[in-house]
Amino acid sequence: MSEFVFADDYRLEKGPTRKYYQEFLKGLVHKHNNLMGVIQGFSSLILYDDGISQEVRDSAQQMQDAARSASELNKDVLVPGGCSECAADRVELSQMLTFWKQKAEELGAEKGVRVGFTPREGLPAVTGDSGKLSEVYVNLVRNAVEAAAEKGGGTVAVDLFPPGEASQGTNVDLFIRNTSPDLSVDDIRKAFKPFESTKGSGHFGIGLTSAAVLAADMGMRLGLRHAEGTTTAWLAMRPA
């Protein structure tokens, strides 16, 4: 498993410093959302005017779309910024499999990518936060689906293994594999960095950052590797 690049540097320390930056970031997002609300409101008023030229209408629409995207970024940035701490509870994976399968198939259908979902028998409970664990899962599957969609006929495979089947130790292992363009080790390292994206300006580039931060908060380990046209995400979950 040494070929994996792990996001170990994304484990945020707990303490007064983190709390300060949480409050700072929450305040900044709140103020920024207020400004975006004003922009969206005034652009809507402009668009309601049937007498404006098409050039003005296009400009107002661009302004409204940009403000809406900025508001979405404000919401999403709180998680990788450490403002969404996780509880250390008992999570029964067996109770989450139906949702996980449906979500993977839904994300695949949106991009025309075939997704296989194969949980093995005997999956024990893990330690974590059920809601945040699902956020990690969705971010990883979405990233895999979007990468697979870049290649015609791309596929994604989701596999869950009980302890001892896929790796040594007591971890429960989640592997998400997808066909993808070739990636170097440097590309893999950059994938975890905030606001790094190879998928165009329509992506914020913080999905894998969010997954890394949340996984670390739950005491899990997240790694990526690329070999022979396949990228694999590995989430090692602690048993409860």
DSSP summary character for residue 10: G
Structural domain total, the chain:
2
> Does 7 reside within a domain?
no
Cα angle: 18, vertex 19, 25; to 5 degrees: 90
Specify whether 51 is located in the same domain as 92. no
Tell whether 41 and 123 lie within a shared domain.
no
Please state, as a whole number, how many other Cβ atoms lie within 10 Å of the Cβ of residue 238: 16
Query: Among residues 97, 178, 181, which one has the least CA distance to residue 142?
Result: 178
| Domain co-membership, 214 together with 100 | yes
Q: Count of CB atoms within 10 A of residue 20's CB?
A: 10
Q: Which of 77, 102, 118 is the last residue of a domain?
A: 77
Query: What string of pLDDT tens digits covers the 240 residues of the chain?
Result: 448 999 998 888 888 888 898 999 999 999 999 999 999 999 999 999 999 999 999 999 999 999 999 999 998 899 988 888 788 899 999 999 999 999 999 999 999 999 999 999 999 999 999 999 999 999 999 999 999 998 778 999 999 999 999 999 999 999 999 998 888 888 888 888 888 776 665 667 899 999 999 999 999 999 999 998 899 999 999 999
Q: Which domain holds residue 219?
A: 87-237
- CA dihedral defined by 63, 65, 68, 74, rounded to 10 degrees? -80
**Side chain identity, residue 136:** V
- Do 135 and 102 lie in a common domain? yes
Taking the C-alpha atoms of residue 48 and residue 60, their distance in angstroms, rounded to an integer, is: 10
Q: Are residues 63 and 131 in the same domain?
A: no
